[in-house]
Structure 1
Amino acid sequence: MNKADLTKRPHEVASMFDEVSTHYDRMNTVLSAGSDHLWRIATTRAIDPRPGELVLDVAAGTGTSSAAIAARGAHVVAADFSAGMIEVGRARQASNPRVEFVQADATELPFGDDEFDAVTISFGLRNIVQPKKALAEFFRVTKPGGRLVICEFSTPPAAAVRAAYYGYLRLGMPLVARLASSNAPAYEYLMDSIRAWPSQPTLAGWLREAGYERVAYRNLTAGIVALHRGFVPLGKQGPLATAADAGKTS
């Protein structure tokens, strides 16, 4: 059984998700006590996909979130690093013409500049070894005026909620994973990665550094999860170009 660690070596992360791909969606529902459905609804509403738009769903897994976005009329490119997830997703979404799967590294996306109306990633950014590089790639492939929506586990602001949640991660989640999963060690990594992930204000700062404007976030389920959103400026410049221009003299 494969378990990645917080070095997040890409091949280890991909292999771990390959192993859990078949039952991944079921385990998400079990471990979240059904809250994953509510988080998906909130994320889709935040993306606000419209008919005819092209949306990139990064770390799409088996395409459950992609299908929810496509149901609003958009065409969705479901990208994931795990070949196992892609295989399961293609089988499950075979009859859905608005969802197409692409195996891709989030830090080196195989797409051109300004291709997508929106980019989204749910519960995947913390699994990327260079999340800031991924954010720069999301910015690059999004059209001027387009938007980014991130749904990710976060830090509950209330101390009592935070203590109870971390207690569940330490004691409850491993027990449930051992009873219901074929790869319980993978969910130990899940617990570790959640606790190591930065707070909501820190992630919002990363979005601003990447070049996004009108950055905001809102907590879901008392801050166990947070939705982050940012918009690509109409006069789009990448952060590196902006920094270079700042050093020029007229």
Structure 2
Amino acid sequence: MATGGRAGAAGTRAGLDKRPDEVAAMFDRVAGRYDLTNTVLSGGLDAGWRRATREALGARRGSTVLDVAAGTAVSTVELAAGGVHAIACDFSQGMLAAGAARPVPKVAGDAMALPLADQSVDGVVISFGLRNVADPVAALREFARVTRPGGRLVVCEFSSPVWAPFRTVYTEYLMRALPVIARAVSSNPEAYVYLAESIRAWPAQPELARWLQSAGWVDVAWRNLTGGAVALHRGTRA
């Protein structure tokens, strides 16, 4: 795993103006076929990314973990494997409703104002959701507030491929092929134009590591998945 450098002044936006009410409404509209669309767009890699996220968190049996931006709670079910008490949290009521049958507790909440007490969980995970938050650094501070000392944060997010030729192909896929595929399988294909743009605007691995450090997380490091198209960032609550 690569380690984060010295924390500097972190930007709090990732290139797009993201109003929470508009983003939540967008996810409400895509909720019906969200899981299918993700699997198709990722070429089936999404299941492996979820397993890698659970392993990076390393939560012990009986511990309590909060899954922020959990969507339909597919990722929460993965986190709950092995006897972990995993809670799904999302600000889209439509997404939570779409995952109502999944056997994990669910709570509606904004990543920047979580409905949890201070130091109430042993770990926090956010998968492919931090880039949709209006102020990512504020959210990272909020994750630290609800995490007990020694607890771990794992951020699974799209990132910057490390090999230049692959990075070029990946960017072309995001901006050309992804919207076309989304039109065939998604319940709201227009939303995936925004999602592609949000991925392209997101900072590379070292910058996100600095954001974690500026929010108070220590022992910050990251590991690339799929050639850096996805990265797992982790930090520990001091």
What TM-score bracket applies, with the shorter chain setting the length? over 0.9
Shift of 1:210: 1.0
Q: Distance in 1 between matches of 2:71 and 2:183?
A: 22
Runs of 4+ more than 2 Å apart: none
Q: Distance in 1 between matches of 2:164 and 2:81?
A: 38
Shift of 1:6: 2.6
Q: Distance in 1 between matches of 2:185 and 2:200?
A: 22
Shift of 1:88: 1.5
1:154 equivalent in alignment to 2:151 = no
Corresponding position of 1:42 = 52
Counterpart contact for 1:218–1:226, Cα < 8 Å:
yes
> So what's the TM-score if we normalise by structure 2?
0.92
Counterpart contact for 1:49–1:73, Cα < 8 Å:
no
SS at 2:65 equivalent: strand
**In structure 1, which of residues 73, 78, 84 is the aligned counterpart of residue 94 of structure 2?**
84
**In structure 1, which of residues 131, 135, 156 is the aligned counterpart of residue 140 of structure 2?**
135
Larger displacement relative to structure 2 (175-184 or 131-140): 175-184
Counterpart contact for 1:114–1:141, Cα < 8 Å:
yes
| Alignment-mate amino acid for residue 19 of structure 1 | R
Shift of 1:47: 1.0
Shift of 1:180: 1.4
Shift of 1:63: 0.4
| Alignment-mate amino acid for residue 144 of structure 1 | P
1:66 equivalent in alignment to 2:72 = no
Shift of 1:22: 1.4
Between Structure 1 and Structure 2, the one with more helix by share is 1
1:174-185 matches, cutoff 5 A: 174-185=179-190
Matched pairs, number: 224
Counterpart contact for 1:135–1:210, Cα < 8 Å:
yes
1:195-220: CA deviation from partner (whole Å, max 9, x where unpaired): 00011000000111111111000100
| Alignment-mate amino acid for residue 61 of structure 1 | G
Q: Distance in 2 between matches of 1:28 and 1:178?
A: 13
Counterpart contact for 2:155–2:233, Cα < 8 Å:
yes
Percent of aligned pairs sharing the same letter: 55
Counterpart contact for 1:200–1:217, Cα < 8 Å:
yes
**In structure 2, which of residues 221, 227, 233 is the aligned counterpart of residue 228 of structure 1?**
233
| Alignment-mate amino acid for residue 90 of structure 2 | D
Counterpart contact for 2:154–2:232, Cα < 8 Å:
yes
Shift of 1:182: 2.2
1:212 equivalent in alignment to 2:212 = no
Q: Distance in 2 between matches of 1:112 and 1:170?
A: 40
SS at 1:184 equivalent: coil
1:30-82: CA deviation from partner (whole Å, max 9, x where unpaired): 00000101101100111112211000000000000100111221111110000
SS at 1:106 equivalent: coil
> So what's the TM-score if we normalise by structure 1?
0.88
Corresponding position of 1:236 = none
Counterpart contact for 1:78–1:100, Cα < 8 Å:
yes
Counterpart contact for 2:175–2:197, Cα < 8 Å:
no
Structure 1 gaps, min length 5: 234-250
Q: Look at both structures and tell me which one has the larger radius of gyration over its CA atoms.
A: 1
SS at 2:222 equivalent: strand
Counterpart contact for 1:123–1:153, Cα < 8 Å:
yes
RMSD value over aligned CA atoms?
1.0
Larger displacement relative to structure 2 (171-180 or 114-123): 171-180
Corresponding position of 2:42 = 32
